[in-house]
């Protein structure tokens, strides 16, 4: 296929006329081309309130979204409160040890039940602050306020008794459920009741990461960043190494350009790795804590870097993991919650806290460098003169894969992309590829 240079420059991304254009395949025809011919996703995908509203429903409302870590809800009654597609969701662990998730809405008059910073509920009950309707951890309505812990004086409780109300059965007024599952140390929810299960969504990723025993890892550090950029720019920056020499002079010394490989199979993720990890420098690095003792092969010397579609980075090293969960708060702003996790084996050394501080400092350095650059991109992409750029096929295949996943969701296509033919593909091979898969 021959494409005129002027055509690419002027019409790389025709400007949508209506919000409905964002749901039409034709709008994305230049990004649908093979990566060595493709243009980037249209600028409105990062700036338009109309695109953002549709994206919330079609991407975040129909995908498995990480909302926290399993160690945050490992005990009965512990809770996570998260926002997904503009909806507040409660995640908890019931008495049988099962993960449960519910819309954070009372079934009486729709009051928000729990605040964002609620780590657990009293007496294993979720109680509405408005009229004191109360629910158990399975979401069942326990009725009106006449329960243990009620603040209503005993001589007034009869006023609130609803046992004789006609047409009312508390069994019909349980909390509205949301699907919840876990993989490794991550908790996921999905607002779509008919979406494929998490196992299918993740593809071969659980098998690829099985040696790390991620389900045993625990959160040891947390930090939140407020970023003046679209969440997709954060993800796209994460999944390419083109920018490392200029943006990350410290990082490129422990994660050398020539040691980068694409590492992705079938599944809703983009994957790559550094192998082997280089030694720490005076600026820091990823070594320090002892690695998990059962790791073997390349797992024992590599860094695995995974972007879980649509919004989460999972960096897995032999001795720790750094996770970034990005929550879009609008087309131009993202709240990024980060976690450092480690296996108990790696935390047993006497200087573990010092080593964790060093890791946190290094990740903060790298993350702040990324934030500065993606905020610059957000400023530039908001300029109407920019209509999209040309993909750099040597380095940006993961971006192309990601952007085509976004397009699929926006136009109503549900599919899981295939993976690379080889387990590891060197990202900086000097041989020019043929027409790469579009994802």
229 in a structural domain:
yes
Q: Are residues 415 and 343 in the same domain?
A: yes
DSSP label at residue 164: T
Instruction: Provide the whole-model pTM.
Output: 0.89
Tokens (6 digits) for 191? 């607002």
What integer pLDDT is reported at residue 277 of this predicted model?
A: 81
What integer pLDDT is reported at residue 1 of this predicted model?
A: 43
pLDDT band for 39, please (50, 70, 90 cuts).
Answer: very high
- Per-residue pLDDT, averaged over 207-232, amounts to 97
pLDDT band for 144, please (50, 70, 90 cuts).
Answer: low
Q: Are residues 248 and 397 in the same domain?
A: yes
Q: Are residues 263 and 121 in the same domain?
A: no
- CATH (domain of 140): 2.102.10.10
Of all residues in the chain, the percent with pLDDT exceeding 90 is: 69
| Better-scored residue on pLDDT, 15 or 158 | 15
Of all residues in the chain, the percent with pLDDT exceeding 70 is: 85
CA angle (302 as vertex; 300, 304 as ends), nearest 5: 120
**Is residue 300 scored above 70 in pLDDT?**
yes
Q: Where are the alpha helices (DSSP H) in 179-266?
A: 198-202, 205-208, 231-238, 244-247
What integer pLDDT is reported at residue 248 of this predicted model?
A: 59
**Is residue 164 scored above 70 in pLDDT?**
no
21 in a structural domain:
no
Q: Are residues 413 and 287 in the same domain?
A: yes
pLDDT band for 91, please (50, 70, 90 cuts).
Answer: very high
- Per-residue pLDDT, averaged over 6-26, amounts to 74
- Per-residue pLDDT, averaged over 43-71, amounts to 98
pLDDT band for 422, please (50, 70, 90 cuts).
Answer: confident
Q: Are residues 248 and 370 in the same domain?
A: yes
Tokens (6 digits) for 397? 């295949």
29 in a structural domain:
no
| Better-scored residue on pLDDT, 171 or 55 | 55
pLDDT band for 72, please (50, 70, 90 cuts).
Answer: very high
**Is residue 3 scored above 70 in pLDDT?**
no
Query: Where is average pLDDT lowest: 15-29, 242-256, 314-328, 406-420?
Result: 242-256
Q: Are residues 95 and 238 in the same domain?
A: no
Q: What is d(CA 58, CA 410) in angstroms, rounded to the nearest whole number?
A: 6
Q: What is d(CA 110, CA 128) in angstroms, rounded to the nearest whole number?
A: 9
436 in a structural domain:
no
Residue 84: half-sphere exposure toward Cβ, Cα within 13 Å:
33
| Better-scored residue on pLDDT, 151 or 126 | 126
Residues whose CB falls within 8 Å of the CB of residue 164, separated by 6 or more in sequence, listed in order: none
- CATH (domain of 301): 3.90.380.10
25 in a structural domain:
no
Q: Which domain, by its residues, includes 76?
A: 65-179
What integer pLDDT is reported at residue 430 of this predicted model?
A: 47
**Is residue 171 scored above 50 in pLDDT?**
yes
pLDDT band for 395, please (50, 70, 90 cuts).
Answer: confident
Q: What is d(CA 134, CA 64) in angstroms, rounded to the nearest whole number?
A: 28
85 in a structural domain:
yes
**Is residue 148 scored above 60 in pLDDT?**
no
**Is residue 337 scored above 50 in pLDDT?**
yes
What integer pLDDT is reported at residue 438 of this predicted model?
A: 38
SS3 101: strand
| Torsion sign across C-alpha atoms 41, 47, 51, 57 | positive
Q: Are residues 260 and 398 in the same domain?
A: yes
What integer pLDDT is reported at residue 153 of this predicted model?
A: 64
**Is residue 240 scored above 70 in pLDDT?**
yes
What integer pLDDT is reported at residue 251 of this predicted model?
A: 61
Residue pair 24/411 in contact (Cβ under 8 Å)? The answer is: yes
Q: Are residues 107 and 243 in the same domain?
A: no
Provide the domain count of the chain: 2
pLDDT band for 244, please (50, 70, 90 cuts).
Answer: low
**Is residue 147 scored above 50 in pLDDT?**
no
Q: What is d(CA 200, CA 204) in angstroms, rounded to the nearest whole number?
A: 9
What integer pLDDT is reported at residue 170 of this predicted model?
A: 81
Selection from 222, 214, 138, 136 nearest residue 180 by Cα = 138
What integer pLDDT is reported at residue 69 of this predicted model?
A: 98
What integer pLDDT is reported at residue 282 of this predicted model?
A: 78
């Amino acid at each position: 296929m021959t494409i005129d240079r002027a055509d690419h420059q002027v019409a790389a991304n025709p400007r949508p006329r209506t919000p409905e254009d964002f749901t039409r395949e034709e709008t994305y025809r230049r990004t649908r081309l093979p990566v060595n011919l493709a243009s980037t996703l249209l600028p409105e995908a990062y700036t338009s309130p109309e695109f953002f509203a549709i994206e919330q429903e079609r991407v975040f409302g129909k995908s498995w979204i990480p909302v926290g870590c399993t160690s945050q809800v490992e005990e009965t009654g512990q809770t996570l409160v998260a926002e997904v597609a503009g909806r507040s969701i409660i995640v908890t662990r019931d008495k049988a040890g099962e993960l449960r998730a519910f819309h954070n809405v009372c079934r009486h008059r729709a009051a928000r039940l729990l605040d964002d910073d609620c780590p657990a509920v009293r007496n294993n009950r979720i109680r509405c602050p408005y009229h004191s309707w109360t629910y158990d951890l399975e979401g069942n309505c326990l009725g009106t306020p006449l329960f243990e812990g009620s603040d209503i004086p005993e001589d007034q409780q009869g006023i609130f008794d609803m046992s004789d109300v006609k047409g009312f059965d508390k069994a019909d007024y349980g909390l509205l459920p949301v699907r919840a599952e876990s993989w490794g140390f991550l908790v996921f929810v999905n607002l779509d009741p008919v979406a494929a299960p998490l196992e299918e969504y993740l593809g071969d990723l659980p098998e690829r990461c099985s040696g790390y025993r991620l389900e045993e890892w625990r959160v040891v550090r947390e930090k939140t960043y407020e970023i003046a950029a679209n969440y997709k720019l954060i993800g796209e920056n994460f999944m390419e190494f083109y920018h490392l020499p200029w943006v990350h002079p410290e990082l490129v010394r422990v994660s050398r350009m020539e040691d980068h490989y694409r590492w992705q199979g079938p599944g809703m993720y983009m994957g790559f790795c550094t192998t082997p990890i280089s030694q720490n420098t005076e600026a820091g690095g990823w070594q320090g804590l002892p690695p998990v003792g059962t790791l073997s092969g390349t797992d024992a010397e590599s860094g695995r870097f995974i972007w879980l579609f649509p919004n989460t980075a999972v960096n897995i090293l032999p001795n720790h993991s750094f996770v970034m969960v990005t929550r879009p708060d609008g087309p131009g702003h993202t709240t990024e919650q980060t976690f450092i996790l480690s296996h108990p084996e790696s935390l047993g050394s006497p200087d573990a806290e010092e080593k964790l501080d060093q890791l946190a400092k290094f990740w903060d350095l790298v993350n702040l460098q990324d934030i500065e650059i993606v905020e610059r991109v957000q400023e530039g992409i908001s300029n109407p003169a920019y209509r999209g750029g040309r993909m750099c096929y040597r380095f940006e295949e993961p971006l192309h894969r990601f952007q085509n996943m976004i397009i699929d969701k926006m136009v109503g296509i549900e599919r899981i992309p295939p993976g690379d033919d080889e387990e590891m593909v060197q990202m900086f091979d000097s041989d020019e590829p043929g027409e790469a898969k579009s994802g």
